[in-house]
């Protein structure tokens, strides 16, 4: 069992990244946003095709041209794609539209899984995504799976986008979240699913603080057991 990895999987807009960042900070672990990595690859494909879409075949053949790294920023972690800061660009609605298609590609998943496994630091890692506890690090010491009603998640995503200056109606966001759920759960390669040994938390009626308290309490307990 790997004592230094905490995996947080779950549906879109359940607050995985928010909780993972805070947990990593409190525990002095490294935070890795795997969703940002898939979004960065999607952005690369989108720019590469230059047709308002993504050419999946071309993208699969070009993965060796992609480098992704993270840097700590004043307010949030910054994502760099081939040395360009794409932190804001990867949150564009056009990326939401194509990221599930890109993430369903076996070549992309293999490429990013290898990259994620190389990012593990000696001091420990908190990693969030959709297959961290099932594929990337199946032997992680702590595994969580966050879920919530699609309506709650759509409203959360809608408010996040408004705050970021992204104009998209609530109905559009709801449609996209439902579509993302269907694509993530039905893809043949590493579908979204709860690991058998993951702790499931329904965040629909919980505050961010309540969710964090559950994550923190279990993680500390589990890590202490693992150190004995």
Sign of the dihedral defined by the CA atoms of residues 86, 149, 134, 108, in that order:
negative
- The strand order across the sheet containing 77-81 reads 68-72, 77-81, 84-85
pLDDT greater at residue 45 or residue 120: 45
Name the residue among 6, 51, 12 with its Cα closest to residue 28.
6
* Cα distance between residue 8 and residue 12, in whole Å: 12
Render pLDDT for 23-59 as a digit per residue (tens, 0 to 9). Answer: 999 998 989 989 999 999 999 999 998 778 899 999 9
* Cα distance between residue 93 and residue 99, in whole Å: 10
* Cα distance between residue 108 and residue 102, in whole Å: 7
Task: State the average pLDDT over residues 149-155.
Answer: 96
Q: Which two tokens stand for residue 84?
A: 């360009």
pTM over 0.75: yes
* Cα distance between residue 121 and residue 4, in whole Å: 8
Task: State the average pLDDT over residues 67-92.
Answer: 92
Render pLDDT for 158-175 as a digit per residue (tens, 0 to 9). Answer: 998 898 888 889 999 999
How close are the terminal C-alpha atoms of the chain, in Å? 13
Q: What percent of the chain has pLDDT over 70?
A: 96
Its CATH architecture, for the domain 2-218, is 3-Layer(aba) Sandwich (3.40)
> How confident is the model at residue 146, as a pLDDT?
98
pLDDT at 227 > cutoff 60? no
> How confident is the model at residue 173, as a pLDDT?
93
């Amino acid at each position: 069992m790997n004592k230094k990895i905490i995996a947080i999987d779950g549906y879109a807009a359940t607050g995985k990244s928010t909780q993972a960042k805070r947990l990593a900070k409190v525990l002095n672990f490294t935070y890795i946003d795997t969703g940002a990595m898939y979004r960065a690859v999607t952005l690369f494909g989108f720019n590469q095709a230059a047709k308002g879409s993504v050419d999946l075949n071309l993208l699969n053949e070009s993965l060796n041209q992609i480098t992704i790294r993270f840097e700590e920023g004043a307010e949030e972690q910054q994502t760099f794609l081939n040395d360009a800061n794409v932190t804001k660009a990867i949150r564009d609605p056009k990326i939401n539209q194509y990221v599930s298609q890109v993430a369903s590609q076996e070549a992309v998943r293999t490429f990013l899984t290898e990259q994620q496994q190389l990012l593990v630091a000696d001091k420990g890692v908190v990693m969030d995504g959709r297959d961290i506890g099932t594929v990337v690090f199946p032997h992680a010491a702590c595994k969580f799976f966050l879920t919530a009603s699609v309506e709650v998640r759509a409203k959360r995503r809608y408010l996040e986008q408004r705050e970021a200056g992204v104009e998209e109606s609530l109905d559009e966001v709801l449609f996209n979240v439902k579509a993302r759920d269907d694509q993530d759960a039905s893809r043949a390669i590493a579908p979204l699913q709860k690991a058998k040994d993951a702790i499931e938390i329904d965040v629909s009626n919980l505050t961010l603080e309540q969710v964090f308290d559950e994550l923190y309490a279990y993680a500390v307990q589990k890590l202490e057991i693992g150190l004995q």
